[in-house]
Amino acid sequence: MIGRFGGLIGTLALGLSGCGDAGTLQNASWPLHGRDSSAQRFAPIDQINTSTVDRLGLVFAHDLGTDRGQEATPIMVDGVLYLASAHNVIEAVDATSGELLWQYDPQVRAESARGCCGPVSRGVAVEDGRVFVGAIDGRLIALDATTGQPVWEVQTIDQDDRLAVNYTITGAPRVVGDLVLIGNGGAEFGARGYVTAHDRATGERRWRFYTVPGEPGVPDNAASDSAMAIARETWAGEWWKYGGGGTAWDAIEYDPELGLVYIGVGNGSPWNHDMRSDGKGDNLFLSSIVAVDAATGEYHWHFQTTPADSWDYTATQNIILADLEIDGSMRKVLMQAPKNGFFYVLDRETGEFISGEPFVNVTWATGLDPKTGRPIEVPSARYYRTGEPSFQFPSSGGGHNWPPMAFSPETGLVYIPAQDVGMPFAEAEEEQVIGAYTSGVAMDGGGAMTQEERDALYAGMKGYLIAWNPHTQREAWRVNEVAPFNGGVLATGGGLVFAGNTARELVAYDASTGDRLWSFDAQTAVSAPPITYVIDGVQYVAVLSGWGGGWPLTGGVMALQAGKAVGPNRLLVFALEGQETLPAFTPPTMPRRAIVSARPTDEAAIARGNQLYARYCLRCHGTGVVSAGAYPDLRASGLVSGPAFHTVVIDGALAPNGMPGFADKLTPAQLEDIRTFIQARSFEDLGAN
């Protein structure tokens, strides 16, 4: 049982300077992704507090010049905010005035459609006068922090790998001593995950840790060799043909006291355990937290949250470090709320399971083994064994996804942007195509459901901000959101929790009670996490606004629960007595006229097109062909019914704008099936208008 909370970890790089207590600081930075090495996203600053927050106002808004969505944590060092926008465009902005100091564009638009969830970035790393950028096309780039000019760049993805084209980078690099660490994504398309450490000064590779084993008999000669000897015994079949998965696309944290790096590992490629590994073995290190030596990459321990994952239940969600008193002794712990719906407290020295309970609706398992933390699965969850679909919670979107949670050592609570969303899992009948959405799960473009079924499904989708007590493994309070997939979280010494939502707001809550104390209309949904800092005795709160990635792109009608949430992407900065306002904005209107005068009658073609659309088009153009993001709503696009459809989709005429060509994946006959499906959906929704 967990007792009362202790203090912060050892001596942390808090980024604080000046004199007096936290409320009278002259300067306080936000130098790391999670603010300090604890990654708690807590700032002990209290100028903005429960009594003064009603005076909070906009100081400036900086337009990012895109509508493709924002997920990054700004980094603030020496009075400068370093931003990563869509397509990895990097900007340095004066943190008090909003003046643009420089901009760097790595020119990745033609590559940006490779990933699963839009051309997004979760940020940069800044250290010793350099800004480190992970680009979608796999490059790690070091920029001069003063000028924005490139100092060095390296390609982190082996270009002679047959799966190289399927990799992307959306996560923020992490600086660990004289190293820069970067992971990657791409497990949905066929990839083998790894984290690489590069020399901070030169970019030279120092070590690499693979998260899943490769083809038998082909040596890696990597830091993970001893770990792969352990992992290989938990795999079967010919998994390497699909890559295996296990991409580390977000959570990488570092404990300088222990000298350990903690890697959050993702899902399998494909998801379907039967297809991936003949339905055998736990498939290490999928859906695991792996601890490695920071200097060498040598394996220390692992904890697997979802053995033999078959549902995209990644453990890539953010990791928080803290010191807690447990059974009368102080323990160094880490905490995570991964996709699978359970909240975990682990010993971060050994990986020992301490406690875990569901923080959202979980139907795939009845609980966790109290000694090992292994899930106690319900038999129906293994859809490939039963031959029957399993409708279960959470969906592949998870009970908690990438928007980071925060921990306040003052309240002892963790604040989680959580959601209840269900999903049917069933084995795919069609052959999987590497480079397409290779899940091994039956995909549906939203055309197989009736309107009544869609309405019932969407009505059951809910989002929350949950205050979770890791001492009791119980909820302390919750705020009901209007839709799932809300923004990341900031906790402060002023007794506040800041979080964005899909209803176009940034909101401040009382950290102890969840009472809503202040809000701001951002004119677009806020998914990115806020930060706070102090310059010359003034506390600021900053956040990137703009909807894109994850549910906003693929959620279709579900994403419209919150209303028309797509709008201008901006950096918003607030302080007490701020008086600025945003320009008037009219949300975009929904399409009103169908692209055909009658619904197509070829039901077989519509059914085939439904599955093909789900595999190749849904991640950008939305479930049911309803785009709630910044991509065209194809139900109202005249391009679909003309010859330009082939030119764009097959020939790649718009590839420079981020719309790839599919000549190597789709035949002309398959394109016609997709066209027929889109036309059917267009008439179903818009034909009566």
Neighbouring residues of 261: CB distance < 8 A, sequence distance ≥ 6 = 174, 176, 181, 195, 252, 253, 254, 255, 291, 292, 293, 294
One-letter amino acid identity for 253? E
Q: What are phi and psi of 22, to 5 degrees?
A: -60, -30
> Is 312 tagged catalytic?
yes
Neighbouring residues of 191: CB distance < 8 A, sequence distance ≥ 6 = 163, 166, 167, 184, 185, 243, 245, 247, 269
Nearest CA to 365 out of 342, 345, 338 is that of: 342
Q: Which two three-digit tokens encode residue 375? A: 């899930």
Separation CA 29–CA 43 (nearest Å): 10
Say which residue the tokens 């190293």 belong to: 179
In Å, what is the CA distance from 133 to each residue of 54, 250, 348, 379, 686? 36, 14, 28, 44, 43
Q: Point out which residues pair with 499 in neighbouring strands.
A: 489, 507
Is 191 strand, coil or helix?
Answer: coil
Separation CA 152–CA 418 (nearest Å): 39
Is the separation of the CB atoms in 43 and 498 below 8 Å? no
H runs (alpha helix) in 425-571 = 451-459, 551-554
Catalytic residue chosen out of the listed positions 67, 250, 282, 312: 312
Torsion angle in degrees (nearest 10) through CA of 16, 17, 18, 24? -10
Is the separation of the CB atoms in 490 and 507 below 8 Å? no
Neighbouring residues of 502: CB distance < 8 A, sequence distance ≥ 6 = 463, 481, 482, 483, 484, 485, 486, 525, 527, 547, 552, 559, 561, 562, 565
If 0-12 CB within 10 Å is exposed, 13-18 middle and 19+ buried, where does residue 406 land? buried
Neighbouring residues of 162: CB distance < 8 A, sequence distance ≥ 6 = none
Query: Which of the residues are catalytic?
Result: 312
